[in-house]
Amino acid sequence: MRFFKILHFLSLDVVICAVAMNVVFYQHFIGSLPPWQVDLLLAISVYLIYGIDRQIDNSMSAQRDELHAFHYKHQLILRIMMVPMLFILGLFLLHAEIPLIAFGVGLSFMLVFYWYGWIKRLFDHIWGSKELFTALIYSLGVMLPTMANAPYSILLLGVVLEVFSLALLNLGLFTLIETGGHSLIWKACCLIALFGLFALGMAGMPLGLLSLFVFIWGFHVGIYYFRASKPERYVGDLAFLSPLIYLVCHY
Protein backbone atom coordinates (compact mmCIF):
# COMPACT_ATOMS: atom_id res chain seq x y z
CA MET A 1 0.00 0.00 0.00
CA ARG A 2 2.95 2.35 0.57
CA PHE A 3 3.67 2.18 -3.17
CA PHE A 4 0.15 3.42 -3.97
CA LYS A 5 0.48 6.13 -1.33
CA ILE A 6 3.65 7.48 -2.94
CA LEU A 7 1.96 7.42 -6.35
CA HIS A 8 -0.91 9.38 -4.81
CA PHE A 9 1.36 11.85 -3.03
CA LEU A 10 3.01 12.66 -6.38
CA SER A 11 -0.40 12.68 -8.15
CA LEU A 12 0.92 10.00 -10.51
CA ASP A 13 -2.18 7.89 -9.95
CA VAL A 14 -4.31 10.76 -11.25
CA VAL A 15 -1.94 11.27 -14.19
CA ILE A 16 -2.11 7.59 -15.18
CA CYS A 17 -5.89 7.55 -14.85
CA ALA A 18 -6.31 10.70 -16.92
CA VAL A 19 -4.07 9.47 -19.73
CA ALA A 20 -5.69 6.02 -19.77
CA MET A 21 -9.19 7.50 -19.92
CA ASN A 22 -8.14 9.86 -22.71
CA VAL A 23 -6.68 6.96 -24.72
CA VAL A 24 -9.83 4.85 -24.31
CA PHE A 25 -12.28 7.50 -25.47
CA TYR A 26 -9.99 9.03 -28.10
CA GLN A 27 -9.75 5.59 -29.70
CA HIS A 28 -13.52 5.07 -29.49
CA PHE A 29 -14.61 8.41 -30.97
CA ILE A 30 -11.78 8.98 -33.46
CA GLY A 31 -10.85 5.40 -34.33
CA SER A 32 -7.15 5.55 -33.55
CA LEU A 33 -4.84 5.89 -30.59
CA PRO A 34 -3.86 9.48 -29.73
CA PRO A 35 -0.36 10.64 -30.72
CA TRP A 36 2.16 10.12 -27.95
CA GLN A 37 2.75 13.89 -27.86
CA VAL A 38 -0.89 14.40 -26.84
CA ASP A 39 -0.57 11.82 -24.06
CA LEU A 40 2.59 13.53 -22.80
CA LEU A 41 0.95 16.97 -22.92
CA LEU A 42 -1.98 15.68 -20.89
CA ALA A 43 0.27 13.88 -18.37
CA ILE A 44 2.45 16.94 -17.76
CA SER A 45 -0.56 19.26 -17.56
CA VAL A 46 -2.36 17.09 -15.00
CA TYR A 47 0.81 16.70 -12.91
CA LEU A 48 1.47 20.44 -12.88
CA ILE A 49 -2.12 21.35 -12.05
CA TYR A 50 -2.27 18.95 -9.12
CA GLY A 51 1.20 19.97 -7.96
CA ILE A 52 0.25 23.66 -7.94
CA ASP A 53 -2.97 22.75 -6.14
CA ARG A 54 -0.99 21.12 -3.32
CA GLN A 55 1.27 24.15 -3.02
CA ILE A 56 -1.70 26.53 -2.81
CA ASP A 57 -3.43 24.29 -0.29
CA ASN A 58 -0.36 24.18 1.96
CA SER A 59 0.11 27.95 1.78
CA MET A 60 -3.48 28.53 2.94
CA SER A 61 -3.83 25.98 5.74
CA ALA A 62 -1.93 23.68 8.07
CA GLN A 63 -0.82 20.26 6.86
CA ARG A 64 -3.88 18.18 7.64
CA ASP A 65 -2.67 14.77 6.50
CA GLU A 66 0.26 12.78 5.12
CA LEU A 67 -0.23 14.08 1.60
CA HIS A 68 0.02 17.74 2.59
CA ALA A 69 2.92 17.00 4.96
CA PHE A 70 4.76 15.28 2.08
CA HIS A 71 4.33 18.29 -0.20
CA TYR A 72 5.37 20.68 2.56
CA LYS A 73 8.49 18.68 3.38
CA HIS A 74 9.59 18.36 -0.25
CA GLN A 75 8.15 21.60 -1.61
CA LEU A 76 11.51 22.94 -2.88
CA ILE A 77 12.31 19.78 -4.85
CA LEU A 78 8.76 19.55 -6.20
CA ARG A 79 8.85 23.19 -7.35
CA ILE A 80 12.21 22.70 -9.05
CA MET A 81 10.79 19.65 -10.88
CA MET A 82 8.02 21.83 -12.30
CA VAL A 83 10.45 24.11 -14.17
CA PRO A 84 11.65 21.61 -16.83
CA MET A 85 8.11 20.27 -17.13
CA LEU A 86 6.82 23.75 -17.96
CA PHE A 87 9.59 24.07 -20.54
CA ILE A 88 8.70 20.73 -22.15
CA LEU A 89 5.01 21.65 -22.09
CA GLY A 90 5.77 24.89 -23.93
CA LEU A 91 7.84 23.09 -26.57
CA PHE A 92 5.10 20.58 -27.34
CA LEU A 93 2.43 23.29 -27.46
CA LEU A 94 4.39 24.98 -30.26
CA HIS A 95 3.67 21.95 -32.43
CA ALA A 96 0.14 21.17 -31.20
CA GLU A 97 -2.90 21.48 -33.45
CA ILE A 98 -4.86 24.75 -33.36
CA PRO A 99 -8.13 23.23 -31.99
CA LEU A 100 -6.22 21.61 -29.13
CA ILE A 101 -4.50 24.91 -28.28
CA ALA A 102 -7.80 26.81 -28.45
CA PHE A 103 -9.52 24.38 -26.09
CA GLY A 104 -6.47 24.47 -23.81
CA VAL A 105 -6.45 28.28 -23.63
CA GLY A 106 -10.13 28.30 -22.66
CA LEU A 107 -9.51 25.70 -19.97
CA SER A 108 -6.51 27.69 -18.70
CA PHE A 109 -8.69 30.76 -18.13
CA MET A 110 -11.11 28.59 -16.18
CA LEU A 111 -8.23 27.19 -14.13
CA VAL A 112 -6.90 30.67 -13.29
CA PHE A 113 -10.39 31.73 -12.17
CA TYR A 114 -10.62 28.57 -10.05
CA TRP A 115 -7.28 29.27 -8.33
CA TYR A 116 -8.25 32.91 -7.79
CA GLY A 117 -11.56 31.88 -6.21
CA TRP A 118 -9.77 29.35 -4.03
CA ILE A 119 -7.16 31.84 -2.79
CA LYS A 120 -9.85 34.47 -2.11
CA ARG A 121 -11.95 31.77 -0.35
CA LEU A 122 -14.93 32.34 -2.62
CA PHE A 123 -15.82 28.65 -2.37
CA ASP A 124 -16.03 28.60 1.43
CA HIS A 125 -19.63 29.84 1.48
CA ILE A 126 -21.25 27.01 -0.52
CA TRP A 127 -20.44 23.39 0.34
CA GLY A 128 -19.31 21.45 -2.70
CA SER A 129 -18.65 24.46 -4.95
CA LYS A 130 -14.87 23.88 -4.96
CA GLU A 131 -15.40 20.19 -5.74
CA LEU A 132 -17.78 21.14 -8.56
CA PHE A 133 -15.21 23.40 -10.23
CA THR A 134 -12.45 20.81 -9.73
CA ALA A 135 -14.59 18.08 -11.32
CA LEU A 136 -15.47 20.38 -14.23
CA ILE A 137 -11.83 21.22 -14.93
CA TYR A 138 -10.81 17.55 -14.59
CA SER A 139 -13.49 16.23 -16.96
CA LEU A 140 -12.86 18.91 -19.60
CA GLY A 141 -9.10 18.39 -19.33
CA VAL A 142 -9.26 14.61 -19.65
CA MET A 143 -11.66 14.77 -22.60
CA LEU A 144 -10.03 17.83 -24.22
CA PRO A 145 -7.97 15.94 -26.88
CA THR A 146 -11.06 13.96 -27.91
CA MET A 147 -13.36 17.00 -27.96
CA ALA A 148 -10.82 18.96 -30.03
CA ASN A 149 -10.65 16.26 -32.73
CA ALA A 150 -13.88 14.23 -32.70
CA PRO A 151 -17.09 15.32 -34.46
CA TYR A 152 -19.84 16.50 -32.15
CA SER A 153 -22.31 13.87 -30.97
CA ILE A 154 -24.79 13.39 -28.16
CA LEU A 155 -22.80 10.36 -27.01
CA LEU A 156 -19.59 12.41 -26.72
CA LEU A 157 -21.40 15.07 -24.71
CA GLY A 158 -22.87 12.34 -22.50
CA VAL A 159 -19.42 10.86 -21.83
CA VAL A 160 -18.02 14.27 -20.83
CA LEU A 161 -20.95 14.81 -18.47
CA GLU A 162 -20.53 11.34 -16.95
CA VAL A 163 -16.79 11.85 -16.38
CA PHE A 164 -17.72 15.12 -14.66
CA SER A 165 -20.38 13.38 -12.52
CA LEU A 166 -18.02 10.61 -11.43
CA ALA A 167 -15.20 13.05 -10.63
CA LEU A 168 -17.66 15.09 -8.55
CA LEU A 169 -18.78 11.88 -6.86
CA ASN A 170 -15.17 11.10 -5.88
CA LEU A 171 -14.34 14.59 -4.64
CA GLY A 172 -17.62 15.04 -2.80
CA LEU A 173 -17.33 11.68 -1.07
CA PHE A 174 -13.92 12.35 0.46
CA THR A 175 -14.78 15.91 1.39
CA LEU A 176 -17.82 14.49 3.15
CA ILE A 177 -15.71 11.87 4.95
CA GLU A 178 -12.87 14.22 5.93
CA THR A 179 -14.62 17.47 6.81
CA GLY A 180 -18.33 16.65 6.86
CA GLY A 181 -21.02 18.30 4.80
CA HIS A 182 -24.36 17.55 3.21
CA SER A 183 -24.78 13.83 2.60
CA LEU A 184 -28.07 14.43 0.78
CA ILE A 185 -26.24 16.48 -1.87
CA TRP A 186 -23.74 13.65 -2.37
CA LYS A 187 -26.54 11.08 -2.63
CA ALA A 188 -28.23 13.29 -5.23
CA CYS A 189 -24.94 13.24 -7.19
CA CYS A 190 -25.01 9.43 -6.98
CA LEU A 191 -28.48 9.33 -8.52
CA ILE A 192 -27.53 11.81 -11.25
CA ALA A 193 -24.46 9.75 -12.15
CA LEU A 194 -26.57 6.57 -12.17
CA PHE A 195 -29.11 8.22 -14.46
CA GLY A 196 -26.22 9.20 -16.72
CA LEU A 197 -25.14 5.56 -16.93
CA PHE A 198 -28.61 4.52 -18.07
CA ALA A 199 -28.68 7.39 -20.58
CA LEU A 200 -25.32 6.37 -22.06
CA GLY A 201 -26.54 2.80 -22.38
CA MET A 202 -29.67 3.97 -24.19
CA ALA A 203 -27.53 6.18 -26.47
CA GLY A 204 -25.61 3.11 -27.64
CA MET A 205 -22.41 3.23 -25.64
CA PRO A 206 -20.62 -0.16 -25.94
CA LEU A 207 -21.00 -2.36 -22.88
CA GLY A 208 -17.24 -2.62 -22.34
CA LEU A 209 -16.87 1.15 -22.06
CA LEU A 210 -20.03 1.51 -20.04
CA SER A 211 -18.70 -1.04 -17.54
CA LEU A 212 -15.77 1.28 -16.79
CA PHE A 213 -18.16 3.94 -15.54
CA VAL A 214 -20.33 1.41 -13.70
CA PHE A 215 -17.25 0.14 -11.84
CA ILE A 216 -16.18 3.67 -10.81
CA TRP A 217 -19.71 4.51 -9.67
CA GLY A 218 -20.15 1.26 -7.71
CA PHE A 219 -16.71 1.56 -6.11
CA HIS A 220 -17.53 4.94 -4.57
CA VAL A 221 -21.01 3.95 -3.48
CA GLY A 222 -19.45 0.87 -1.85
CA ILE A 223 -16.96 3.04 0.07
CA TYR A 224 -19.78 5.22 1.38
CA TYR A 225 -22.08 2.40 2.50
CA PHE A 226 -19.70 -0.43 3.45
CA ARG A 227 -16.37 1.09 4.51
CA ALA A 228 -16.72 1.68 8.25
CA SER A 229 -13.27 3.22 8.78
CA LYS A 230 -12.03 6.37 7.10
CA PRO A 231 -10.45 5.38 3.77
CA GLU A 232 -7.52 7.19 2.20
CA ARG A 233 -8.17 9.27 -0.91
CA TYR A 234 -5.89 7.08 -3.01
CA VAL A 235 -8.31 4.17 -2.45
CA GLY A 236 -11.04 6.08 -4.26
CA ASP A 237 -8.64 7.16 -7.00
CA LEU A 238 -7.80 3.51 -7.70
CA ALA A 239 -11.28 3.12 -9.18
CA PHE A 240 -10.29 5.47 -11.98
CA LEU A 241 -7.61 2.98 -13.03
CA SER A 242 -10.35 0.90 -14.69
CA PRO A 243 -9.57 2.42 -18.15
CA LEU A 244 -6.00 1.19 -17.73
CA ILE A 245 -7.28 -2.34 -17.09
CA TYR A 246 -9.47 -2.01 -20.20
CA LEU A 247 -6.44 -1.03 -22.30
CA VAL A 248 -4.34 -3.90 -20.96
CA CYS A 249 -7.11 -6.37 -21.84
CA HIS A 250 -7.59 -4.99 -25.36
CA TYR A 251 -4.00 -4.29 -26.37
Residue 102: is its pLDDT beyond 70? yes
Residue 132: is its pLDDT beyond 60? yes
Share of the chain above pLDDT 90, in %: 30
Residue 181: is its pLDDT beyond 80? no
Q: Report pLDDT for 250.
A: 72
Mean pLDDT of 58-82: 77
Residue 80: is its pLDDT beyond 80? yes
Is residue 247 a contact partner of residue 23, using CB atoms and an 8 Å limit?
Answer: yes
Mean pLDDT of 30-40: 90
Q: Report pLDDT for 162.
A: 95
Domain ranges of the chain: 2-250
Is residue 8 a contact partner of residue 234, using CB atoms and an 8 Å limit?
Answer: yes
Alpha-carbon torsion 181, 184, 189, 190, what sign? positive
pLDDT band at residue 237, thresholds of 50, 70 and 90? Answer: confident
Q: Report pLDDT for 231.
A: 66
Is residue 213 a contact partner of residue 226, using CB atoms and an 8 Å limit?
Answer: no
Residue 64: is its pLDDT beyond 70? no
